[in-house]
Amino acid sequence: MKIIHVLLGKAKPDNTTSGVSKVVFYLAKYQEIYGAEVYVISITKNSQYDGQILSGHPRVEIYAQSKTRFLVNKGIIQRIKEIEPDIVHFHSVFIPEFQIIGDILTRMSIPYVITPHGGYRAEALKRNKILKKNWLEIFESRLLKRAKMIHFLTQQELMEFESLGLHCRALKVIVPNGVEDQPYYDYSKAKSYLIEYFKLPIDSTVILFLGRLDIYSKGLDLLMQGFSIFSKKIGTEKTYLLLVGPDINNSLNKLSGMAERYGISKRVNLFGPVFGGDKFLFMSGADLFIVPSRSEGLPTVLLEALSVGARCLVSYGTGMADDILNHEAGWVCKLSPEAIAEALLIAIKEIKCKDKIQKISNNAINLVRQKYSWDTVAEKILSYYKELSNVG
């Protein structure tokens, strides 16, 4: 079976804060392991990479984005004709290039699949609301109407899509993102490394957020307010909030301003992104890993944190709240400063119980291995492809 994955941005396994980039890379990698012939077409804004092919598996081919978004790099169309794929899989939504490629695939009788990656969730649609509403009605509806399958990451994502009332006869499936197994990181050693790296007092309690510092989507404004309420209740206890990730639309300055305004600047530390081994060490060493998102498809960083047994506090907007509750793999909070503060108080109290924390860490690792391994995810999606293309 020949498969082409198409995304905006570079598919890569690390050194990126884009969950979609990592998901596409690993999905393609594991589909190859299961015997498929897989290509990844990455559309990038940087013209200097046009035509570049990244060595290794999967095969990633990079094409420059046209200055006019409704024109597609001719190299992409040529490659599709050369490869003659059985399936093309689009990742993310509201991307003009996908409209043109979708029309060409329809004329070529090549079925295509769309993974919105949370792009149609209610909270996501609130951003640029009028523009997205018009785009859905004029352009996106045509792409959806001709799709053979829409791949959702969670039941909630599917329900919110269906509430839009769009005319879409495509097969609708739910398959989560995956994550690779990670090595075991000793908590005490990881905690010592984290404390030394960020120059914190030895006896600190550390709450970590790691990911894109996108204030609205990631709920960081609510987290700052919630941490302020929490800090007033615990008094002088040495508890610190680390926000680690790339600056998004001047978010570092905005978050710094919030910390000053809420009187928590001495307890909040802002840092740029980290990758590779350091990332997993920080997740393992933090007393609490927090993901207070307003809306996500299924955050890769949360799957990564659970895979190393991190003690996680998440919002319902992550799409993983029910799994974490049902498997006793962490804590869940509603999206308000008060709810976040209350959840922090409960979690910080409970992490002082060694037996309970070991159980939560083990449950987190087992949850990922049972439900979110890339082996399981890739095999399941391949089985759906075969239904659509009638390729054995």
Q: Look at residue 150 and give its three-state secondary structure.
A: strand
Any residues with CB less than 8 A from the CB of 21 and at least 6 apart, and which? 7, 9, 10, 11, 12
Q: Where are the domains of the chain?
A: 2-178+373-389, 187-371
60 contact partners, CB below 8 Å, separation of at least 6: 10, 11, 12, 25, 40, 42, 53, 54
CATH superfamily of this structure's domain 2-178+373-389: Glycogen Phosphorylase B; (3.40.50.2000)
d(CA 42, CA 25): 10
Query: Is the full-model pTM beyond 0.85?
Result: yes
Query: Does 111 score more than 90 pLDDT?
Result: yes
According to the model, what pLDDT value does residue 135 have? 84
- The whole-angstrom separation of Cα 278 and Cα 259 is 25
Q: Is the dihedral of CA 291, 294, 300, 306 positive or negative?
A: positive
Contact 340, 226 (CB under 8 A): yes
Q: Which CATH number is correct for 187-371, 1.10.3720.10, 1.50.10.10, 3.90.1200.10, 3.40.50.2000?
A: 3.40.50.2000
pLDDT at res. 392: 43
Q: Tokens 């190393």 sit at which residue? A: 308
- In the chain, the percentage of residues whose pLDDT exceeds 70 is 96
pLDDT value at position 48? 66
pLDDT in tens, 233-274: 987 678 999 999 998 889 999 999 999 999 999 999 999 888
7-16, 82-91, 254-263, 315-324: which has the minimum mean pLDDT? 7-16
Do the first three CATH levels of 2-178+373-389 and 187-371 match, i.e. the same topology? Answer: yes
Question: What's the confidence (pLDDT) of residue 21?
Answer: 87
Cα three-residue angle 29-116-304, rounded to 5 degrees: 50
Can you tell me the mean pLDDT for 274-280? 85
What sign does the dihedral 245-270-348-230 (CA atoms) show?
negative
Strand (E) positions, the chain?
2-8, 37-44, 53-54, 59-64, 87-91, 112-115, 149-152, 171-174, 205-210, 239-244, 268-271, 288-291, 312-315, 330-333
**Residue-wise pLDDT tens digits, 115-172:** 999 889 888 888 888 888 888 888 888 899 999 999 999 998 999 999 888 878 899 9
Q: Is the pLDDT of residue 337 over 50?
A: yes
Fill in the amino acid letter for 158: L
Whether the CB-CB separation of 69 and 98 falls below 8 Å is answered with no
- What's the full length of the chain, in residues? 392
State both tokens at 132.
């997205």
Report which of 293, 296, 333 is spatially closest to residue 121, judged by C-alpha positions.
296
Mean pLDDT highest for which of 67-71, 184-188, 259-263?
259-263
Q: Is the pLDDT of residue 391 over 70?
A: no
Name the band, by pLDDT with cuts 50, 70 and 90, for residue 295: confident
Answer whether 119's CB lies under 8 Å from 136's CB.
no
pLDDT at 54: 67
Helix, strand, or coil (residue 274): coil
pLDDT at 17 over 70: no
Q: Which helix (H) or strand (E) holds 304?
A: helix 300-307
